[in-house]
């Protein structure tokens, strides 16, 4: 990857809906150059896909939680397959320390969040859960 690739990735990260023509104008190169670079970056796996970011009014209404899971030995695979089926789970990470996994959950209501937490806690192989409800975001480097 060279400087142009990095600038192109930065521009697409800021707004993936920017047209190829606008990217070319902003980067000072031909539209065909931008298109070829994007295709190469996608083909090599550097760009794995495109997504949307929800606006602040929608994000503020959503309820987020971090959930720490303790899992019985040898139950990780079965617990993980059940976790994948829950749409409220945004991410799941294995960890070191007192928790075996850390989940990031999001729900539209406290009732939805409570139901998801109840389902997770009832999974065979889950020893214990600890839920940390997010109250406010002080800063977020991802946005």
Q: pLDDT by residue (tens digit) across 39-59?
A: 999 999 999 888 776 666 666
Burial track 118-139 (b if 16+ CB lie within 10 A, e otherwise): eebeebebbeebebeeeeeeee
- Packing angle between helix 20-27 and helix 3-14, nearest 10 degrees? 130
Backbone angles phi, psi at 102, to 5 degrees: -125, 125
**Region class of 104: left (phi > 0), else alpha (psi between -120 and 50), else beta:** beta
Domains, the chain, in order of start with CATH, read 3-43 (1.10.10), 56-133 (3.30.70.920)
CA distance 122 to 120: 5
Q: What is the pTM of this model?
A: 0.65
Residue range 52-107, pLDDT digits in tens = 766 666 666 789 999 999 999 899 999 999 999 999 999 999 999 999 999 999 99
């Amino acid at each position: 990857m060279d400087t142009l690739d990095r600038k192109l990735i930065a521009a697409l990260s800021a707004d993936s809906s920017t047209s190829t023509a606008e990217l070319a104008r902003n980067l000072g190169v031909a539209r065909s150059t931008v298109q070829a670079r994007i295709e190469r970056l996608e083909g090599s796996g550097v760009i794995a896909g495109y997504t949307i970011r929800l606006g602040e009014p929608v994000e503020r209404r959503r309820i987020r939680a971090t959930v720490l899971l303790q899992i019985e030995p040898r139950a990780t695979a079965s617990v993980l397959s059940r976790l994948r089926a829950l749409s409220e789970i945004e991410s799941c990470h294995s960890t070191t320390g007192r928790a075996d996994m850390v989940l990031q959950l999001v729900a539209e209501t406290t009732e939805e969040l409570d139901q998801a937490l109840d389902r997770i806690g009832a999974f065979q192989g889950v020893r214990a859960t600890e839920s940390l409800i997010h109250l406010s975001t002080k800063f977020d480097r991802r946005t």
